[in-house]
Every structure is written in structure tokens, then in C-alpha cells.
Amino acid sequence: MKRIGLFLLTNIAVILVLSVVAHLFGLNRYLEADGTLNLTTLLLFCAIFGMGGSFISLLMSKWVALKMTGAQIIENPRSSQEMWLVNTVKRQAQAAGIGVPDVAIYNAPEPNAFATGSNKNKALVAVSTGLLTHMSQDEVEAVLGHEIGHVANGDMITLTLIQGVVNTFVMFLARIIGHFIDRAVLKNEGGYGMGYFLSVIVLQIVFGILASTIVAWFSRQREFRADLAGAHLAGRRKMISALERLKMAHGQSTLPEQITAFGISGGKISRMFSTHPPLEERIAALQRAEG
């Protein structure tokens, strides 16, 4: 979850900053001619800022992940466990045909792991201390294979492209409605006032949260592929065992998002925003593939 969550939060922050910059430099005035909103210019404006914001978020993803989790990259392994982690990631990366990612550990009691980075040859794979405590070595190996799978499959790049398209339409719709509020509700007849700016910011946040369901849906589909990658790199039984360990450890079929390595919470609404499918579905998918 952290991989997607950090990216989405960074993306929203970047888009808001870009919107403020556009307002301060008066770029919004180019979107209007003779009091009429120029939809073609607006769409181009939103595409440039939306895609740009998404790629800026991607470029920042590794740095943000390290800062927000406090993860420490293993430069020189200080224990047999750290040496094993580095060697396992190196072996799996070579098998997957990608550059060896940086390996990091961060302090957190919950079992968790994530991979991020702007380039599949310069990625980051991080695991929590809780993961190392609650899982066997075979299960940790499967989790690492799962994260390497995300990197090898180019999930962050694909996510960036999808988020860029989503950003474009979020900004587009927010400005159309903001224009209507500024003209029809606030009766502002010339230029754009503070009411337009504030309404656009609020609408971007609301639409951005709603649009995150699209990104979440994409993420759920990619989890199955990452599971298969983990099964290929570490062994199918190890991957199934890692998923079952999560399920058994918390005594429920699906897990709260804030404490999962790759489980989700239940309920129709929560599922729409969940970045991971239920554990039973993932286990069943691996078992079917096994047959």
C-alpha cells in the first residue's frame, strides 16, 4: 500500500503547488477569451500540468518514500540478516533482468514492504522490521520477489501515465466548474477572482480523491501479476505461504490497509479505494495457476 499511497499523496501535493504557481503567474488568463472559456486551450493546459505533475511525483517517489518512512538504505550490511536481504534482492533482480535496487529497512511494527522509483534499474525495495519479525525467511523471500515483480513489470511507470491522464481531467473539470462558480454564482465578469482559485483548489482535491479509485483499480490488477512474479522468483508455495501468514496473523480474511504488506479492508466503498485485492482472491489465483 505504501508505494501507491505515497505516490498519490505526492501527486496531489504537486498538482496543488502547480495550481498555485499558475494562479500567481496569471496563467489562468490565457484560458479565457472574450469572457468565454477556451476548452481547447484549457485541455492543453491541464494535460501539460497534469502529466507534468505525475512525472514530477514519479521522480520524487524514492526520495519521498525514504523521508516519510525513515527507511535506511543498507550501504554496508551489518548483520547476516541484512546481508541475506541484499543478496536475495540482487539475485532476484538479476533473474528478473533489472538493475539491482537499493535495499532499505524501516522501523514499523506492522508487516509491510514496498518498492518504488522512477526507473526499473534504479529502484528502491524497503521492508519493515515487523515483516522481518513476523515472517519466516522463505516468506520474506516471496515478499521481496513480489516487490521485484512490481519493478520489473514497470508498474510505477504505467501508474504515472494513468495518473497523468487522471490529473488532466481532474484539473479540466475543476476549472470548468470553477469558471461557472466564478461567473454564475459570484458574478465576477472580468478575470478570475479568489473565489475561482479557492473553488478550483477544493474541487481538485475532491475530484482527485474520487479519481484515485481508478488508480486503485489499476493497482489491484497489478497485484496479481506481482504475486505471479513472486511465485516465479521465490517459489509458488512460498508466495502462498506469505499471503496466508498475513491472513492468519490478523485472524481475518482481509486486513486493514494501514497494517498490510499487501492486504485490503472489506466493504464495497473501501474496496473501491483499496489498492490491493482481498487475500483470499490472491491466494486462490495462485492456487489456480499452480494447477
Asked if 148 contacts 125 with a C-beta cutoff of 8 angstroms, the reply is yes
Element housing 2 (H / E):
helix 2-24
| Cβ neighbours of residue 2 closer than 8 Å, sequence gap 6 or more | 65, 69, 112, 114
Same domain, 201 and 276: yes
pLDDT the model gives residue 225: 94
Average pLDDT of the chain to the nearest whole number: 84
Rounded to 5°, the CA angle 285-286-291 comes to: 100
Catalytic residue list contains 32: no
Beta strands in the chain (DSSP E): 32-33, 36-37, 72-73, 102-106, 113-116, 124-128
pLDDT the model gives residue 265: 37
> Catalytic pick from 139, 147, 223, 257?
147
Residue that terminates a domain, selected from 129, 152, 175: 152
Residue that terminates a domain, selected from 120, 152, 184: 152
Same domain, 142 and 164: no
Same domain, 116 and 62: no
pLDDT the model gives residue 17: 83
Beta strands in 29-121 (DSSP E): 32-33, 36-37, 72-73, 102-106, 113-116
- For residue 78, pLDDT beyond 90: yes
Same domain, 255 and 136: no
Q: Position 214: which residue type?
A: I
Same domain, 205 and 177: yes
Residue that terminates a domain, selected from 127, 152, 177: 152
The CATH number linked to 139 is 3.30.2010.10
Instruction: Look at the alpha carbons of 86, 145, 54, 57 in this order and tell me if their dihedral is positive or negative.
Output: negative
Same domain, 45 and 78: no
- What is the residue range of 97's domain? 74-152
Same domain, 160 and 121: no
Q: What is the rounded CA–CA span in Å between residue 177 and residue 255?
A: 38
pLDDT the model gives residue 281: 92
Instruction: Report the domain count for the chain.
Output: 2
Asked if 153 contacts 222 with a C-beta cutoff of 8 angstroms, the reply is yes
Tens of pLDDT, residue by residue over 213-267, are 888 898 889 999 999 999 999 999 999 999 999 887 655 433 334 333 333 334 5
